[in-house]
Homo-oligomer: A and B are copies of this chain.
């Protein structure tokens, strides 16, 4: 058996383990409630002029940290032939530094466990969420600034210390970030690992079960685990399935598993999907020009906020953060506050007997490479966006789904280090056999295995698609 198959099986076994060796899923939830009670997060909206360390550059060109580090809020003009709006201007987060999101994993009782941290972020709705072992900036990671190293950094810095199970570059929200990418890493160790406060070992199955609840698992955890592939359907895999307890796998989970494992039943081949995507990438233009924040039409900079005149989309706010935990931490930073909740949904349908996901090729202004593969529906709620032809494609199908056809429906948070109380409704909707397979040209049916294939290569799947994929459980 080659290393890759062993790795896929290791991930699969962990995904099928609904309980871990250390803490039950129910106990994790209780522990999070307790941790949340023990912590007090105070966010006060302040004036930009009182935001120590941050300032608007000359002529309000952008809002940035005086050190030049962290991120800045820039203005951009967007020109495109995608969608109804051919030109607009908006603020965008410019954070050129790559973020590092990493898990240490280790086998206990033959099952891979992930070292998860209960982490507080200022923008989190519920203060504490489950995050990867390591969340660091590249500066932290390479320790160019001297300072306290993040916990467990030493395992990540030396590439020969652990086995690298996954190391990918992945995008962030293209409507909010300019070309931002994170590095997603999973390491496996056989060393003894000292467990610090707020860290616990969970199986992949447990993490996926916890994503079935609202806002327990943070975005960073979700993006890293979304990248885990489960490989090919080989005779060895079948043997393995025969060996596991069949009762553990749910009927829908078994169907998802079939879609996750490579088989010959995909509607289109990978080459055909690449041809589809190339055609669209060549069809659509995306031109960005940096402009001053003051030159963004319809947006207002006042003492407290940078906001749209009709309070649409999002606003940039200045905040004073105080977190009282075991120690007290205080700092100031800008945060992005959304105007309303978002909705993201995949429609899945059995084609050739295997679940296929309806993917949208979507252009967002901050995309690194014009288009990324997005959920079937991705929009803001409240004022559902209208298209020229009327309603957003497939929105009705998603909103009117019968209860039996809803595989999951939860609220999930965006990254609390940048976004203030931002959450998206995550939906996975099953449609029946008579659902029309004919779809608009910028949509495509793919199996879960195919999605995992594209996910490996950078800048194919957007963060919303990855969030939904992370929530797919086999148990």
Partner of A159, one of B100, B169, B183, B279: B279
Tell me the complex Cα distance, A458–B460, Å: 10
Q: Pick from B159, B167, B269, B279: contact of A2, CB below 8 A.
A: B269
**Is A4 a contact of B166 with CB atoms below 8 Å?**
no
Q: How far is the CA of A164 from the CA of B264 in the complex (A)?
A: 20
1/0 per residue, CB under 8 A from B, across A250-285: the answer is 000000000000001000011110110011011000
Of B4, B168, B275, B282, which one neighbours A269 at CB under 8 angstroms? B4
Instruction: Find out whether the CB atom of B456 lies under 8 angstroms from the CB atom of A274.
Output: yes
How many copies the complex holds: the figure is: 2
Q: How far is the CA of A201 from the CA of B368 in the complex (A)?
A: 39
The answer to whether A457 has its CB under 8 Å from any CB of chain B is: yes
Q: Are B3 and A274 in contact (CB under 8 A)?
A: no
| A269 and B229 alpha carbons, distance in the complex (Å) | 13
The verdict on A34 contacting chain B, using a C-beta distance below 8 Å, is no
CB distance from A78 to the nearest CB of B (A): 16
Q: Counting CB contacts under 8 A, is A369 at the interface?
A: yes
Asked if residues A270 and B456 are in contact (CB atoms below 8 Å), the reply is: yes
Contact A282 B138 (CB under 8 A): yes
Q: Which residues in chain A, 328-375, are within 8 Å of chain B measured between CB atoms? A: 368-369
Within the complex, the shortest CB–CB distance from A1 to chain B, in Å, comes to: 10
Interface residues on A, range: 20 to 34
- A98 an interface residue at 8 Å Cβ cutoff? yes
CB distance A167 to B7 under 8 Å? no
CA distance A159 to B282 in the complex (A): 13
* Chain B residues within 8 Å of A458, by CB: 278, 281, 369
Instruction: Choose from B138, B167, B278, B281 the contact partner of A278 (Cβ within 8 Å).
Output: B167
Q: Looking across the interface, which residue of chain B has its beta carbon closest to that of A454?
A: B457
Which B residues touch A271, using CB under 8 A?
A: 4, 7, 166, 229, 456
Q: Chain B residues near A229: list those with CB within 8 A.
A: 271
Q: Within the complex, what minimum Cβ distance (angstroms) separates A166 from chain B?
A: 7
A270: chain B residues within 8 A (beta carbon): 4, 456
> Chain B CB within 10 Å — which of A168, A270, A278, A458 has the most?
A278
7 shortest A-B CB distances, which residue pairs? Answer: A167-B275, A4-B269, A457-B457, A167-B278, A164-B275, A183-B282, A169-B278
